[in-house]
Structure 1
Amino acid sequence: MTFLRSVSVIAAAAIVLGSGAAAETRVTYKSAKAGSSYFQMAVQIAEAMKKGTGGDVSVTVEESQGSVQNVMEVRARGGDYVFTTPPALIGLAQGGKAMFEGKGDPAFDEIRALFPIPSLTMHFVMSADSGVQSFADMEGKTILLGSGSFGAREGAKYIELFGLEGKVTVADSELSNAVNALKNGQIDGFVTAGSWPAPNVIEAAASTGVKVLSLDDTQIEMSKRTRLTIPAGTYAGQSEDITTTSLPVVAYTTSKMDDDTAYLLTKTYWETREDMAGDAAWWAGVSTDMLSNITSRIHPGAIRYYKEIGAPLNDAQM
C-alpha cells in the first residue's frame, strides 16, 4: 500500500432508497507522521470504517507532527474531528500544565474518548551473542537508542533509573541502522518503542537471534508507565512472555460530535478490529480491558456502545 501525505478514504455514492438517500458521515482522523506505524493504523481504521458501514462513513486521514499538535487543534476543529494522543496529554491540556502551560482553552475540557488503539511498547532488544539476560547484564555493552523519539528518551531514562548510566556505551547512530548494526556486531542491542509486534524486532529476531528483556515489578513501578505483556511466540525464538512497559494511545473527539456518530465509529471499530488484526498483528493486542487506560471522560455515544457489550467503565469516564 502507498501512504501519501494525506490519505482519503471516500465513501461510495449514496444509494437512493425510494425517494430518499442515505446520509454520508464525514470524519477527519489526525494521527501521526506519514510512513509511521500510527499513520498506517489510521489508514486501516479509515478503510475499516468504510467497509464496516457499507460506505456510510467517509474518513479522511491527516498527517500530524505529533500528539501535542493533535490536542491543540481541538480549539479550531468541529464535530467531525478525531485524533490520537496518549491519555496523559489530555490531563495536561485540561490542567494547563507542561507543554500546555499558558495555552489553556475551554475547548480542552470538551475532549471525549472513543476507543484505545495499540500502545507504544518499549522493547530492549539484545543480540543472542551478547549473553545479556537482564538489565544488570547490560553493563559494558553498546546500546543504540536513536534520537528524538519517545523510545530514545524513554530508553535513556531507564538506563539512568536502573543504575546503568556511564556503564553502557550509547552508539551514535539512528534507529533505522539498528538491525544491520546488530547483525554486524557493531552494537550489542537497541531500544525501540512502537506497537507490537515491532517490524524491526521481527527482522532482528529472524535474522540474528535476540533476547527482548523483561522488566520486574520494581522496574515497572520506577518507570511510572503502564505494564504490558507481549505473549510468548510473538518473535522468533521467544519462548516466554515479555513483561515490559507501554504508553497507552487513545482515539479522541470532542463533545461537538453527535452521539450517533460517536456510537457508530466506536461500534464499527470494535466489530472490525479482528479483521484488521488479520492484516496487521498489532491490532490483536487491543481489547476492551484497555479502556482502563482512559483517564478522562468518554463520549456519551461511545458509552452507549460500551454499555451494550457490558464493557467495564469507571465513574471518572462517564
Structure 2
Amino acid sequence: MKAQRFLMLIMVPALALAVTAAQAQPRPGWPRSVTIGSASIGGVYFVVAGGYARVIGEKMGLPATNRVTGGPVQNIQLVATKEIELGMTTMGPAFEAFNGIGEFRGRKLDVIRIAFPMYTSFAHWMVSADSPIRSVTDLTGRVVSLGPRGGSAEFVGHRVLELFNIKPRRIVYLGFADGATALRDGVVDANFGVIGIPVPAWVEASITRPTRFFGFTKEQIETLTGRYPYLARAAIRAGVYRGQDEVIHTVQMWNAAVVHKDMPDDFVYELVKTIFANRDFLATVHPASNETLPVNVFYTRLPLHPGAVKFYREQGVRLIDDQIPPEMKRS
C-alpha cells in the first residue's frame, strides 16, 4: 500500500506552496532564468527537480526549467561550462571532478561549488522475482543496465563490477523507466540504481509484476567503503517497494546541488534560503526531500559557494575547513 500511495502522489499535480510574506526579486547580475540539470524521466532527480523549479519560479520570481540529462556526472560538466545554473549530483562524481581523479582524470573541474545537501542515494538492484540472480556475483554472463549515461548508477556500477571481477555478457545504459520496461520484456536481467528511494519507475514495476530487490553482502560493503571514501554503509528499510519485506543492506552516497563559483553570492544565498524554507512542500513532491536540512551539509565536505557559506553561518551550522572555498580563504 505504501508503494501504491507513493505512485499516486507523484502522479498528482504538485500541492500549492505555503504562502510567504514576500518573494525574492531578481537583482542585477542574477541569471534571468534557472535551468536545473536533473536526470532521466522515471528517476528521483527528475521528480525532485520539478519541485525545485516550482519553488524557484514562485518564490524567487525566476523562470525555472527541469532539464533531462544523463545525471550526476553530466550535470557537473554542464555546471562547469555554465550551460545550466543548478546541477544535481552525488558526492562521488563531485569528489572526483573537484580533484581531477578517477572519472575526471586529466580534466579537473574545480569551479563547482556546493549550494545545498539534498538527500541520500542508496545502491540497490532490481530483478524479476523468479530470477536466479541473488547477488552481484551472479551477474557474470547477464545483461545488466547501469542506469542512464552520466548517472550515479553508471559511476558506482563500473567500480562494483571491476572490484568484484564481475563480467556481464552485456552492459546497457537505460533510464529508470526504460530499464523497468526492459526488465519486464526480458531484454535485461538486472537494473542497478544509486538513487533516492523510492524510485518512482521501480515502484510502478513492483506493483505491476513480481520483482525482487537486493544490495550487497557485509564483506562486499566493507570492501566498497574501504576503497571509496564517498561511500558509506547503509540500509533500505523494508516495505519501500511491493514485495520487499526485508531490510536491504547496501552502501549510500549523499546528493548535493552544485553551482558555478562565478554565480553571484546574493543569488546563491537566496536560492539556498528559499529551498530550505520550502522543504515541507518539497517533501510532498518526493519524501527524500525530508533529508534536505542545513545540518546535512556536513556530508558534502567539498567547497561551498560563498553565498551558501553565509547562509549556513547565519544558521549556526558548523563548517569544516574543506568546505570554505579558496576564494574566501584568500580574502
TM-score (norm 2): 0.67
2:50 equivalent to 1:43 = yes
Match of residue 113 from structure 1: 114
Number of residues of Structure 1 aligned to a counterpart in Structure 2: 290
Query: Secondary structure at 2:250's aligned position in 1?
Result: strand
Over the residues paired in the alignment, what is the CA RMSD in angstroms?
4.1
Structure-to-structure mapping, 1:22-37, within 5 angstroms: 23-25=25-27, 26-27=30-31, 28-32=34-38, 35=41, 37=43
Q: Match of 2:130, SS? A: helix
Deviations 1:37-84 (A, max 9, x none): 434433320211233x3x544435555566555445556649x93333
- Which one-letter code corresponds to 1:43 in the other structure? G
- Shift, 1:146, TM fit: 5.5
> What amino acid sits opposite 1:46 in the alignment?
A
TM-score when normalising by structure 1: 0.69
Alignment of 1:266-281 (within 5 A): 266-281=272-287
Kindly indicate whether residue 322 of structure 2 is the aligned counterpart of residue 316 of structure 1: yes
Change (3 A) 1:285 1:103: closer
User: What corresponds to 1:59 in structure 2?
Assistant: 64
Q: Shift of the alpha carbon at 1:268?
A: 1.4
- Equivalent position amino acid for 1:59 in 2: A
Is 2:160 the partner of 1:158? Answer: yes
1:253 to 236, 254, 259: 259
SS at structure 2 position matched to 1:265: helix
Structure 1 residue 95, shift from structure 2 partner = 4.1
Which deviations, in whole Å up to 9, do the C-alpha atoms of 1:149-168 show, x marking residues without a partner? 343564454345345x35x7
Asked if structure 1 preserves the Cα contact closer than 8 Å seen for 2:272 and 2:311, the reply is: yes
1:83 and 2:87 matched: yes
Q: Is the CA contact (8 Å cut-off) linking 1:143 and 1:190 kept in structure 2?
A: no
Q: Say if 2:123 and 2:195, in contact at 8 Å, map to a contact too.
A: yes
Identical positions, percent: 25
CA contact (8 A) 2:98 2:111 kept: no
Question: How do 1:163-182 residues align onto structure 2 when only pairs under 5 Å count?
Answer: 165=166, 178-179=179-180, 182=183
Query: By how many angstroms is 1:141 displaced?
Result: 8.4
**Alignment CA distance shift 1:273-1:143 (3 Å):** farther
Name the SS of the counterpart of 1:129 in structure 2. Answer: coil
**Which runs of no fewer than 5 residues in structure 1 stay unpaired?**
1-16
Question: What's the counterpart of residue 144 of structure 1?
Answer: 144
Cα distance in 1 for partners of 2:90, 2:38 equals: 12
SS in structure 2 opposite 1:233? coil
Alpha-carbon deviation of 1:278?
1.0
Contact 1:141 1:188 in 2 (8 A): no
Structure 2 residues not aligned, in runs of 5+ = 1-21, 325-331
Q: CA deviation at 1:291?
A: 2.1
Residue 219 in 1 paired to residue 224 in 2?
A: no
Number of the residue aligned with 2:8? none
Corresponding position of 1:230:
236
Q: Deviations over 1:257-290 (max 9, x none)?
A: 3433222211211221221221223424544564
1:124-149: CA deviations, max 9, x gaps?
1233334665446x378855326763
Deviations 1:189-217 (A, max 9, x none): 43334332112321232233333213244
Kept in 1: contact 2:80–2:112 (CA 8 A): no
**Distance (Å, rounded) in 2 between the aligned partners of 1:111 and 1:260:** 17
Equivalent AA in structure 1 for residue 50 of structure 2: V
Matches of 1:172 and 1:82, distance apart in 2: 28
Q: 1:200 to 1:170 in 2, by over 3 A?
A: farther
Partner SS state of residue 274, structure 1:
helix
Higher relative contact order (CA closer than 8 Å, sequence separation 6+): 2
Corresponding residue SS for 2:54: helix
Q: Where does residue 9 of structure 1 map in the other structure? A: none
Question: For the structure 1 residues 135 and 280, does the alpha-carbon distance in structure 2 shift closer, same or farther, using more than 3 Å as the test?
Answer: same
Distance in 1, Cα, partners of 2:107 & 2:187: 45
Relative to structure 1, the CA distance from residue 144 to residue 64 in structure 2 (aligned partners, 3 Å threshold; closer, same or farther) is closer
Distance 2:160 2:287 in 1: 27
- More displaced, 277-286 or 229-238? 277-286
Partner of 1:206, secondary structure, is helix
Note the C-alpha offset of 1:312.
4.6
